[in-house]
Structure formats: structure tokens, C-alpha cells
Amino acid sequence: MAYVDANGMWSEHEAVDGPRRLLLIEDSPSDAALLEVQLRESILADASIDHELTLAGALGRLRESTYDAVLVDLGLPDSDGLETFLSVCEAATPAAMIVITGVNDERLAGEAVRRGAQDYLVKSEYRRGEVARAVNYAISRQHVLDELRRARDEQLATKDRFLSHVSHELRSPLAVVHQFASLLFDGIGGPLSAEQQEFLTVLRRNVDQLRVMINDLLEVGLAQLGSLTVECQVVALASLLAESVAAYRPQADQRGIDLALHAEILPDVIADPHRVREVLANVIDNALKFTPQDGRVTVEAQPGANDVRVTVRDTGCGIRPADLDQIFEQFFQARQSDEFSRNGLGLGLFVSRGLVQRQGGEMWAESQLCHGAAISFTLPVVRRTLEMEEAE
């Protein structure tokens, strides 16, 4: 089928297969009629073209039907500017979006393209055939983008399944290594020399580190596959905090770090106790790694109107301002000196924030470089949850 190219010439090149469904959102009947004529004089001659005069009408149409492309004027009776485009763009996915406007605004054009528009055409400037060509190319580009996104999602899903499988399979042999190393260290296989005990201490420490990394990989894989379970219940947070701090006190004492718990009388929270322990383990272990000898790590808990805020503070090297917004990203590791270098995959805080959010809380970090860091998270109190259920 022929179409009009940029020079007004008829061509068989770049034809698209099959009739297209187009939605034209334009409040000027004369402009809409002109656009439809131009589309009919092209490869899109057999396209199905629907026309709406308002944003409300367009959104209603998009709820009922799907389109290959949407041509939207940004100045409508019930909406104007970029908000018009964003509203249509959200409702029209995965249609190709083309902005048609009477305003030649480069800033607005750039923002629209950045937000997903395939093209930005000024009514007074386009030539014969340009609109049809823009629509045709926009649909083709959108199809390519959709295919790329699908391929990317499939690759990511394959990677997540692989990581989850490998992590799970590595846990069993690693547990055997840890068990027999512990038996040897405890003298079950016979007396050991001081040097042999030192070797086994190094071995067990590295096996524990490897076990943490494998568990983090498994958690990430399960989260990406949507299989990470969180089973919330009423939890006595004060007892849970005390247990977690007590578990890390021997490690803190060994490193010459003062580990303290400061918590007021706390209400019960709605949470998964296993997952909260996991979050606390990640955050406390992280604080101990970055705190030098004779430093201090403090676990604090303070009740609020709707939740309890738990904060783990340290007197370590702190976090650079440039890294503060990135420490919760997957595989991110802040650059540190050898003294505070951290062994791991950069998954602990990423996993922890996901677990906190799954339990209805939030997680964030505060720090001043060379003055320590504070990692905080919240958990909803029981009263808030019961009130929400009653309201429903």
C-alpha cells in the first residue's frame, strides 16, 4: 500500500501490515478533520480512527478499547499542558503516543518525549504526509520497545530463577562444610594444636560469610519471583529487639565495640518476627562492620502514633552524601578504605528494605561522613492495623 512521504511523494516503502486503531484527542473540529484527512491520504487509509473532544471522554474510551496510537492535543477544555499527556499516557499503555499541539515549546516537547511520547508535532509546522509518517514510525518504534521490554523481562526472570536455584543448591554442601569444621574445632575428631584452631577459626568465619551471601542471593531471587513469604502477626517487639542484640553482643565484645539497646516501653507491632530478626541482623551486622574498635553501636526504638521506629546507630566512618540515596540499591557497595572494607554482595540493605516494606513500614538512612550512620525502619503498631480493619 502507498503512503505520502516527507516530500509529498507516494511510496511503497515503510508500509505497515494490517489496519491500525487510532485515537485522536482534539477539541477543535476543524483541526481534527484536517488531521483525519491527512491520515486517510496515507498508508493509514484503512485505519479505524476514533475522535474525542475532552480528556474525560478520551479516558473513558481508553478504558473500553485498546489502540495502536494515540494523538493528543495538550490544550483540552478539561485539561491542559503536560498533565494532559501524563493522564492519557498512563491510560493508553501500550499505545504509541504522539503529541499534537499549537504551542512550539521545546521544554515541553523534551519533557513529553522523556515521559514516553514518540513524537511532538506543532500544528502550524508539519508538512503534507508528516503526521501519517510520524504515526507510522511511532507505532513501529513502540512495537520494538515492547519487544525489547519483553525480552529484558524474560532475561531478568531467567536470571532470577537461576540465582534462586543455585543459591538453594549451594546451601546443603555449605552446611556440611560448616558442620564438620565445627566438629573439628570442638575437638570431636581429636585434639588440635593452637595453629590448627586458628586455621579452623578462619575457615568458619569465611564459611559464615559465604552462607550470608548465599542467603541474600536466595532472598533476592525469591523476591524477584514473587515467592518471598511474609507472614505478619502480633509481635512483642521489645523482646525481639533484646534477643537480636544479645545474639550480636559476643561479636561486638570480640571486636571491642560497645553494643547497647535503648528502648522505651513499646507497643506490640504487626510484623513477621522471622523477617524482623533478619532485618535487624543485616543492619546490626552492617553497623559492626563499619565501626572501629572502642566504637559504639546503639539499637533504639521509639513508639509513634501509628508505628514504632527502630534505629541502629554507629560511630563508624559514615556514608558519603553521594552514596546515601544508593545504599539500598541492589549490589551497591560504598567505596571505603581497607580498614572498613566490607565483604559481601551489597544485598543486605536491599533485601532488608524490601522486607520492611512488605510489612507495611519504611526504611531510610541518615549520616554525616566521619560521624557515623543511622539506619531506621518502622513497623505498624497493632492499634493502627485494627482501626484500619474496622474502617474497612
Mean pLDDT of 210-227: 69
Q: Is 3 left (phi over 0), alpha (psi -120 to 50) or beta?
A: beta
Q: What residue segments make up the domains of the chain, in order of their start?
A: 3-149, 152-224, 233-391
DSSP annotation of 193: -
Pairing of strands 69-72, 269-271: unpaired
Q: Answer yes or no: is pLDDT of 341 > 80.
A: no
Q: Which three cell numbers stand for residue 255?
A: 571486636
For the stretch 88-116, pLDDT in tens is 988 888 889 888 887 777 788 888 888 88
Pairing of strands 69-72, 75-76: unpaired
Alpha-carbon torsion, ordered 139, 141, 142, 143, to 10 deg: 90
- CA pair distance 12, 134, nearest whole angstrom: 16
Hey, which residues does 69 pair with through a beta bridge? 22, 96
Domain covering 152-224 in this structure, CATH number: 1.10.287
Q: Which three cell numbers stand for residue 369?
A: 561522613
Centroid of chain to Cα 303: 28
Centroid of chain to Cα 181: 39
For the stretch 168-197, pLDDT in tens is 777 778 888 888 888 888 888 888 888 988
Judge residue 123's burial from the number of C-beta atoms within 10 Å of its C-beta, 0-12 exposed, 13-18 middle, 19 or more buried.
middle
Q: What is the pTM of this model?
A: 0.53
Centroid of chain to Cα 342: 24
Class of the CATH-defined domain 3-149: alpha beta
Q: Is 330 left (phi over 0), alpha (psi -120 to 50) or beta?
A: beta
Cis peptide before 380 (omega within 30 of 0): no
Domain covering 233-391 in this structure, CATH number: 3.30.565.10
